[in-house]
Amino acid sequence: MNNTKGLSALLLTTIIGASLAGCSSSNTSAANASNPTSNANTTAQTEAPQPTEKALSGNLVVYSAGPEGLATKIKEGFEAKTGVKVEMFQGTTGKILARMEAEKSNPVVDVVVLASLPSMQGMKNDGLLLPYKEAVNADKLVSDWSDTADGNYFSYSASALGIVYNTKKVSTPPTSWDDLTRAEWKGTVNIPDPSLSGSALDFITGYLSAKGDSGWDLFKQYKSNEVAMAGANQEALDPVITGAKSVVAAGVDYMAYKAKAAGEPVDIVYPAEGTVISPRPAAIIKTSPNVDNAKAFIDYLLSDEAQALVAKAYLLPGRTDVKAENRANLEEIKTFDVKWEWMNEHSDEVSTTFTQIFK
């Protein structure tokens, strides 16, 4: 009796045990897939009681427009936080777009960071971007600069364009864009090349979008006053630092603030009639093989930590609740009434016309 009881109990346990084991070995993945909530619950119970953040690993390829120092700090900060290895190509907006075009047949990039909003809008219209509506802190961004409706791109920072000048050579800085067409500035002014510098392109298209076709007069007068088109932003600024030229028209402000902080004899003015602010959008590319990592990268760009890095790099933070350090903040800079859609539609044409005028 005892024996049979013991035997049946043994049988029962083995049967139950075997069926349970079979279930756990063969059906776990199916159960996970079909019933993620219960699985999440069990892991939450058995493991550490953390929120349901996915553990990240592997790589992320980022093509990023400068500034180099900030890009490197963001890369390091993101790597430290997530353990994802970031491979970063740093270049100007023009070079990044060209690289993506060259790699069209074999895309490797996950996230792009540009220095030009219209270029990013163009990519959105071409259907190249992966929407990420759930991006953390996206609601705090300056709404004009980001695709808040669909979450296609997020401007995590911005820079304003101004007139940068050498303080040793210039005692009374120009106060308006028209000043630079005067004879006293003949041959002493640089302007960045819009085919290389996204922010310069933004300035030119932004200015034209606000002024209409008559806006071209300014640039034609610049040309006849021997304004030189000189590479990307830093190449335009460099001769001004060394004193070879006196002024950069449409120079990015953060570079000027940075050089000034290092002790170089430069300063910047924002013309009274207004200027253009060039947002720096980031987006996930649709072909991204590492979508989770890419989303985490966007979240990181909008995080307090990265926004603080942005502010330290003399850029305007993308979030309205973060203030820039040691520089003019957004509300202190008067801007033109720019039309981003027009800028996006006409950027190629404007860039070509401009470089033809200045070549």
Binding site for another protein (CB under 8 A): 61-63, 66-68, 72, 86-90, 92-95, 97-99, 101-103, 105-106, 108-109, 119, 166, 168, 195-196, 228-232, 234-235, 237-239, 241-245, 255, 259, 262-266, 348, 351-352, 359
CB 154 to another protein: min, Å: 21
Rg (CA), the chain: 27
In the complex with another protein, the residue whose CB is nearer, 81 or 99, is 99
CB atoms within 10 A of CB 79: 14
Among candidates 160, 163, 158, which has minimal Cα distance to 190? Answer: 163
User: Least CB distance from residue 260 to another protein, whole Å?
Assistant: 10
Cα–Cα dist 140/114, whole Å: 20
CB of 55 to another protein, least distance (A): 23
What is d(CA 326, CA 310) in angstroms, rounded to the nearest whole number? 12
Query: Which residues neighbour 255 within 8 Å (Cβ) at sequence distance 6 or greater?
Result: 67, 164, 233, 234, 237
Q: How far is the CB of 17 from another protein (least distance, A)?
A: 48
Choice between 135 and 230, CB closer to another protein = 230
> Would you say 78 or 336 has its CB closer to another protein?
78
Tell me how far apart the alpha carbons of residues 194 and 294 are, in angstroms, rounded to a whole number. Answer: 28
Which helix H or strand E contains 298, and what residues bound it?
Answer: helix 291-301
Spatial separation of the C-alpha atoms in residues 33 and 26, rounded to whole Å: 13
137 or 293: CB nearest another protein: 293
Q: Least distance (Å) from another protein to the CB of residue 292?
A: 19
- Our CB check for another protein shows the closer of 219 and 336 to be 219
Q: Of 94 and 206, which CB lies nearer to another protein in the complex structure? A: 94
Residue closer to another protein (CB basis): 166 or 303: 166
Longest dimension (CA), the chain: 117
User: Cβ of 248: how many Cβ atoms within 10 Å?
Assistant: 31
Distance of alpha carbon 38 from the chain centroid: 38
The CB-of-334 to another protein minimum distance in angstroms stands at 27
Least Å distance between CB 158 and another protein?
20
What 3-state DSSP class applies to 113? strand
